Amino acid sequence: MFHEGLYVVGVKPARMAAIELDGVTKRFGGVTALQSVDLTVEEGEIFGFLGPNGAGKSTCINILLDFVRPTEGSVRVLDKDAYEGSTEIRERTGVLPEGYDVYDRLTGYQHLEFAIESKQADDDPDELLDRVGLSPEEGARKAGGYSKGMAQRLILAMALVDEPDLLILDEPTTGLDPNGARLLRDIVREENERGATVFFSSHILSQVEAVCDTVGILNEGELIAKDSVEELRQTETGDTRLTVTLGGDDAETAREAVSGLDTVTSATADGNRLVVECDDDAKMGVLTAIEDAGITVEDFEAAEPSLEDLFAAYTDADSTEASR
């Protein structure tokens, strides 16, 4: 499209942004739900939107879909203004919203036909049902009798109609069993390989880690970090907390034994228990070191870093940088 000479040598042409938020603020009455959020999601990315419940994730998604209008700032989706071009955006977007309800009296098939007609597409409802793991018999039933998980699968199938360029999934694993969650991850990867950009919001860190390339972290209406998933993992290292229950009372010896390991950040003895902060993949090494010191390990428990810990890590990093 552009003349080659326009590019400065050595600078890669930027990929087009699928989603662009520029200084977006949203206030409901006196409550600020989003505070000057700047966010870019590149085309072809699987973007994880992470934050605790009430952080403003859904408000942000509602703004992308023009369910809610921002108080300040500009929003572009698929290179269209989120308000002016909303219908065009939604023609090319598949959405699994949060806090929705199905039409109780319509069957699964009728839901899909409604989506297919609305998008003027020609998808086969049976194929869509099959992809999300619903049988034709289930599809012929009224959606009012569906479990939460089945409803979630149905709406996901509606989102897949007409091969969307952008998939917006708001807390998509809500109500899904582990099999359903795995199926969802597979679908996300398949859609991404086909070329779709995926915007995946969740309050569960491990879900976002499992599929996403890039992660944005939202807390109390502010975007506190945006990183690749590798960088995110590094930030959280050291935050895995291993609590080991020892056979004897000699926790001090055990503490000395593990303190020497360079994968261990800190170790605290507490009666017959030892609390070790270490790299996530160093857990076995720690346990081996304790046993090598002649102390039996009765039990151990590894606490994944919580979202709060992650926020703390990012917030601390920010303040350290600022004080430098």
Partner 1 sequence: MSAEDNPFDGVGDTVRGADEWLNTTFGWYAVAKKEFQDALRSKGFWVLAILFTALFIRPVAAELYFSPATNQARSQLGMQLLISRYYLNLVSFLLPIVAIFAGYAAISKEHTSGSIKVLLSLPHSRREVIIGKIVGRCAVVGVPLLISFGLTALFLVVSKLTFKPGMFTMWAALSLLFTLVIVTVAVSISGAVLRNIYSLMASIVFYLEITFVWNLQVNAIAGWLAENLGFAPAVRWQLAFVAKLFNPSQAYKTIVNSQLSQGANGARMARWSMFSQPSDRMETICTGALNGNATVQRSLFGNQTVCQDAGQSLPLWLSDPAVLGYMAAWLVLAGAISYYTFDRYDL
Which residues lie near partner 1 (CB under 8 A)?
Answer: 28, 62, 65-69, 86-88, 90-91, 93, 95, 97-103, 105-106, 110, 114-115, 117-120, 142, 155, 158-159
* Nearer CB in complex with partner 1: 166/244: 166
Nearer to partner 1 by Cβ, of 79 and 88: the residue is 88
Measured CA to CA, the distance from residue 210 to residue 49 in angstroms comes to: 13
Nearer to partner 1, 50 or 68 (CB): 68
Shorter beta-carbon distance to partner 1: residue 97 or 247? 97
Please give the DSSP secondary-structure letter assigned to residue 281: G
* Nearest-approach distance from CB 194 to partner 1, in angstroms: 20
Q: In what order do the strands lie in the sheet with 17-28?
A: 31-42, 17-28, 72-77, 80-81
Residue 156 CB, nearest approach to partner 1 (Å): 12
Structure-token pair, residue 163: 């091969």
Amino acid letter, 248: G
Of 55, 40, 37, residue with least CA distance to 201 = 55
Rounded-to-integer distance, Cα 193 and Cα 196, Å: 7
166 sits in the region (left: phi over 0; alpha: psi -120 to 50; else beta) called: beta
Are 176 and 149 a contacting pair, CB within 8 Å?
A: yes
Residue closer to partner 1, measured from CB, 148 or 182 = 148
The distance of closest approach from Cβ of residue 140 to partner 1 in the complex, given in angstroms and rounded to an integer, is: 13
How wide is the angle at C-alpha 76 spanned by C-alphas 72 and 78, nearest 5°? 165
DSSP-assigned letter for residue 142: B
Q: How far is the CB of 316 from partner 1 (least distance, A)?
A: 35
Cβ 229 to partner 1 shortest distance, Å: 27
